[in-house]
Chain A
């Protein structure tokens, strides 16, 4: 350890060798790179040990400024920060670019999903994806769509209320998850008694674990399923509402049944970059809303029939067609009590053995 004990500034950190380092120096003095390149030039190839140490150094130096010292971020976690803005910018060029980049992103996600879950189960890739999406969508709405001067104050406030409620549910859900007993703690310490499922990703003991939601980086179990459902509802509400506001602003709207405004002609949105960007963000929101709606309906079904996601996955196709009503449901307490159970969860609640 260095003898200097003054507190770190936001851009400093202790590196692998426990030496004080600064992020601005990230491209300076890398012994392994020097040696590797030297041997490469002299025709000996890049030695294996240099290569692995180089990767370790890279990983170590990839940091963002943070209070009390720069924080290390893993490579997979910062990927969405580049992929998403790139997707938005490319897809606002023209309709074909939109189709191309949306398809590309779906393909990337589908391939990355299996790979990350198998190899690095603790990856923050998905939660960073969620947060980046939220920030991008909100910034586009407030800085590009609102200045078109077509949205009323009340409409903006209503959207913000939906959005804030979603964020609150999301936060409470994470907090409840973090307050659960750690794996390895005794029952007395963890505060509740009974069977819980271990979640090795969040390192906690989850009561009636439903599934681990990678997008929220949080376990969904009986303790937060109610918040999870609420978060889904408000996320869908804000996505659908913001996309409607955006589309009716950038496209030509019409009044549907004298009440709601819907878009009917979006042919010139790609002529201006800002309009294209807003349009694309609305499409992305609608896509997300559709996926979340399916997830919400699935959750409502599972809670109603008293199954967990894992049990549902193990059902046969035929049993799924009957909504799992004819299969064995060990946790089922009946429709009303199933809902009551997730709504009135208390920390001291004892799970019946």
Chain B
């Protein structure tokens, strides 16, 4: 028979292990170092005879962007397209933002992002995908619509972006690397830490080719949560484990700091969805959407 003392010791050890179990904490993660970021970037073909834009300096001259700093940017072309005219852009990117009923945030976001993206010498277009039906918000489906339109417009790189996140580091280049990339790994409301390693929401960069390969996101996630974990699962099934840049480049601020519990345990209807990913996603997306060109963005109305 075990003595009481031993029982106490064993209980103590179990409690200690439970308290300090790593997944109960924010995680440190593997990342691509500041000096290696440039090598990892994927570029498009030369468009004009101008000299190429210097992205190396954009990354290495990384500095903090002030949220309150005045936003003086070149007015983009109709539809929110811009490309630098003094150099030849090698990065062509579509920023896709699922959206519904947050006009104040949208205004802040657009002013901020046009300024931010132009300073990185990108050829970009901002897509706002507005869900017009009265069902619960379906972020993943809206991203699919945006991606579909962007791929049709021949964008090789997609940035899937939440409207309430703003990048804080000027060197956080909005381009794709050889793997899908989780960009918002250091958000202020999470104390600039990563809540769990498989988090793949917020801001994500993925090449159109990869996005087609995983058949986009699931169309079945109505309401908040779960779709990003399903996205992660689709990637790992297709051997596309995502990467991250150094925290020095990955800081974001969240507008209207709503607090939502981040939880890695939302695997309810995900098992099925990830397995069925060939028959649920980009390929099964209905085509009831319309495109409108606004002054600062391309609006996609979908349901």
Q: List residues of chain A with CB under 8 Å of any chain B CB.
A: 142, 146-153, 155-157, 160, 248-250, 252-255, 261, 265, 268, 271-272, 275
Measured CB to CB, the closest approach of chain B to A59, in angstroms, equals: 30
CA distance in complex: A151, B189 (Å): 12
Q: Contact at A149–B25, with CB atoms within 8 Å? A: yes
CA distance in complex: A248, B193 (Å): 11
B188 beta carbon closer than 8 Å to chain A:
yes
B224 beta carbon closer than 8 Å to chain A:
no
Which of these, A152, A248, A253, contacts B28 with CB under 8 Å?
A152
Which of these, B25, B27, B263, contacts A156 with CB under 8 Å?
B25
Chain A residues positioned under 8 Å from B25 (CB to CB): 146, 149, 151-153, 155-156
Chain A residues positioned under 8 Å from B195 (CB to CB): 149-150
Q: Contact at A254–B193, with CB atoms within 8 Å? A: no
Measured CB to CB, the closest approach of chain B to A52, in angstroms, equals: 40
Q: Which residue of B lies closest to A275 (CB)?
A: B259
B262 beta carbon closer than 8 Å to chain A:
yes
- Given contacts A252-B257, A268-B258, A275-B259, are A150 and B191 in contact (CB under 8 A)? yes
Chain B residues positioned under 8 Å from A253 (CB to CB): 188-189, 191-192
CA distance in complex: A247, B191 (Å): 10
Which of these, B20, B190, B254, B263, contacts A150 with CB under 8 Å?
B190
Which of these, B20, B262, B263, contacts A157 with CB under 8 Å?
B20
Measured CB to CB, the closest approach of chain A to B120, in angstroms, equals: 23
Interface residue range, chain B: 20 to 34
CA distance in complex: A137, B261 (Å): 21
Chain B residues positioned under 8 Å from A271 (CB to CB): 259
CA distance in complex: A272, B258 (Å): 11
16 chain-A/chain-B pairs, Cβ below 8 angstroms: A146-B19, A149-B24, A149-B196, A149-B263, A150-B26, A150-B191, A152-B26, A152-B193, A153-B22, A249-B191, A250-B259, A253-B189, A253-B192, A254-B188, A261-B192, A265-B257
CA distance in complex: A334, B170 (Å): 59
Q: Contact at B261–A148, with CB atoms within 8 Å? A: yes
Q: Which residue of A lies closest to B4 (CB)?
A: A67
Query: Which residues of chain B from 256 to 303 have any CB-CB distance to chain A below 8 Å in the complex?
Result: 257-259, 261-263
One digit per residue, 1 when the CB lies within 8 angstroms of any chain A CB and 0 when it does not, for chain B 172-211 equals 0000000000000000111111011000000000000000
Additional A-B contact list (7), CB under 8 Å, known A253-B189, A255-B192: A149-B26, A149-B263, A150-B190, A150-B193, A253-B188, A253-B191, A261-B191
Q: Contact at B189–A252, with CB atoms within 8 Å? A: yes
Measured CB to CB, the closest approach of chain A to B269, in angstroms, equals: 22
Chain B residues positioned under 8 Å from A265 (CB to CB): 257
Which are the 7 A-B pairs with shortest beta-carbon distances?
A149-B195, A252-B257, A153-B25, A150-B191, A150-B190, A152-B26, A248-B191
Most buried by A among B22, B26, B189, B192: B26
Chain B residues positioned under 8 Å from A254 (CB to CB): 188
Measured CB to CB, the closest approach of chain A to B159, in angstroms, equals: 24
Measured CB to CB, the closest approach of chain A to B90, in angstroms, equals: 32
CA distance in complex: A342, B170 (Å): 56
Measured CB to CB, the closest approach of chain B to A330, in angstroms, equals: 48
Chain A residues positioned under 8 Å from B193 (CB to CB): 150-152
CA distance in complex: A261, B187 (Å): 13
Chain B residues positioned under 8 Å from A261 (CB to CB): 191-192
CA distance in complex: A261, B186 (Å): 13
- Given contacts A250-B259, A252-B257, are A146 and B192 in contact (CB under 8 A)? no
Query: Which residues of chain B from 1 to 54 have any CB-CB distance to chain A below 8 Å in the complex?
Result: 19-20, 22, 24-28
CA distance in complex: A261, B189 (Å): 11
Q: Which residue of B lies closest to A266 (CB)?
A: B257
Which of these, B27, B196, B257, B263, contacts A268 with CB under 8 Å?
B257
CA distance in complex: A272, B195 (Å): 19
Most buried by B among A146, A149, A271: A149
